[in-house]
Amino acid sequence: MEMIETEISFSGYLKRYGHLKFIELSDPPLTKRPRYSPSVIPPLPDQNPIFTLKLSPIILKNNKRKRFTPKSSSSRSVEEITKQVFDGVVRKSSSWIKSEFLGRGSYGSVYLATSKKAKTKTTMAIKSAEISRASSLMDEERILTRLSSPFIVRCYGHEIAREETLFGGERTNYNLILEYCSGKSLFDLVNDNLGGLSEKDVKLLARDILYGLDYIHRANIIHCDIKPENIFLTPVENRIRPSGYVAKIGDFGLALEKGSSEYEKASGHRRGTTRYMSPELIRHGIVDYAVDTWAFGCTVLEMLTGQQVWGEHSDLGSVDWDILIGQSCYLPCIPDWLSEEAQHFLSRCLKRDPASRWGIGALLNHPFLQCGSIIVY
């Protein structure tokens, strides 16, 4: 059978891993929040081969027919058909496989990718965007390549790939290669436990997040978007952790290096997710380490209660959010049924005055966190 060939040029660690097939698809709408996470770091290569993409014309023809020709008025949705095309074509690669579409964010799409040639199956998360729209992914890589911590999602590099479309054309994608955390995101874990997590589990996960924040702050980096959706969970043995997870900070697309030109440009402008923004960030656009502490406090509050922070004000418009968080004297509600230690810990994180807000070191030494196991890598 005649095969169609096209070349894919790679950079980073993926250079040595044989043949890889890419095909650009119309991604289905995001139905769940994307997850990505950690695993195994592949060896660095010393070669830069050109990989060959081979797709059968029959496969492309058949998949086009399934994608664009509805069987009847009761035929499956476009999303289902798109997923079938993805499953039928992409999974036929002989080496690296984009094995699952995870979702779509403002930066692009997220996939799983697996190497079949590695002795131990290596699973990665791929954030992919057309190169002309990939500035956020490039910024994230620039930050992450400086970091190495068991409490930060690892970055393995990037690839620039020319990917064939179903219309017979080509586009160039920027693919950011990240550790895949096979556990849930913290957002998912909290949603599965609507009454809140146990304080024992919260203490362990909160300490992981603080270790990650302490590490990036020492590197002069402010995350700017700490929230449950951006905390990813790696499974560990239950004998080590009752919860079965270690928490890692991910999604550095909005992160800033203090003192950099990007940081100076961002001064006076908001960054992050409004619900988790600190008062000084909303009111004055002040970006400093304390904004991460506030967002961390909101995240811990959600872990303990199982409810979204500011949940009682969810119907507010954007202007009202500005007034509530940036100008009023209100604070997120800390329930009195929590332990005294938990209430005190949260109150130190959620001070409206950033100068009075506790730093990461002080929070790590708070009595609330002084029990349970520590993961050592």
- The whole-angstrom separation of Cα 1 and Cα 61 is 14
Considering the domain architecture, whether residues 274 and 254 belong to the same structural domain is answered as yes
Residue 375 lies in a domain: no
CB 193 within 8 A of CB 169: no
What pLDDT sits at residue 100?
83
**Average predicted confidence (pLDDT) for the chain:** 77
Q: Would you state the pLDDT for residue 119?
A: 65
Spot the catalytic one: 225, 251, 336, 353. Answer: 225
| CA distance linking residue 250 with residue 225, whole number of Å | 10
Question: Given 136, 151, 179, which residue is the final one in a domain?
Answer: 179
- On the question of pLDDT at 109 being above 90, the answer is no
pLDDT digits (tens, 9 = 90+) for 180-226: 998 889 999 999 988 899 999 999 999 999 999 999 999 999 999 99
pLDDT computed for residue 184 by the predictor = 84
SS (H, E, C) 262-297: HHHHHCCCCCCCHHHCCHHHHHHCCCCHHHHHHHHH
Taking the C-alpha atoms of residue 351 and residue 298, their distance in angstroms, rounded to an integer, is 11
Task: Give CA 180 to chain center in angstroms.
Answer: 10
Q: Does the residue 221 lie in any domain?
A: yes
Confidence class for position 120, pLDDT limits 50, 70, 90: low
Has 320 been annotated as catalytic? no
Strand pairing category for 155-165 and 23-24: parallel
Residue 22 has pLDDT above 80, yes or no: no
Helices 199-218 and 289-305 meet at what angle, rounded to 10?
Answer: 170
376 is a domain residue: no
Indicate whether 372 pLDDT > 60.
no
Residues 314 and 171 in one domain: no
- Supply the range of the domain harboring residue 355: 186-369
Identify whether 72 is part of a domain.
yes
Q: Is the pLDDT of residue 58 over 70?
A: no
pLDDT the model gives residue 186: 96
Are 214 and 311 members of one domain? yes
More confident residue, 329 or 49: 329
**Dist. CA 127–CA 125, nearest whole Å:** 7
Q: Once rounded to an integer, what is the mean pLDDT over residues 353-377?
A: 83
What pLDDT is recorded for position 237? 79
> 144 and 118 in one domain?
yes
Higher pLDDT, residue 120 or 374: 120
Buried b (16+ CB within 10 A) or exposed e, 119-142: eeebbbbbbbbebeebebbebbbe
Looking at per-residue pLDDT, the higher value among 88 and 238 belongs to 238
Look at residue 215 and give its three-state secondary structure.
helix
The pLDDT of 58-63, averaged and rounded, is 36
Residue 71, marked binder: no
pLDDT tier at 76, thresholds 50, 70, 90:
very low
pTM comes to: 0.72
> How do residues 161-185 score in pLDDT, each as one tens digit?
887 776 777 888 899 999 999 888 9
Comparing 377 with 272, which gets the higher pLDDT? 272
Report how many domains make up the chain: 2
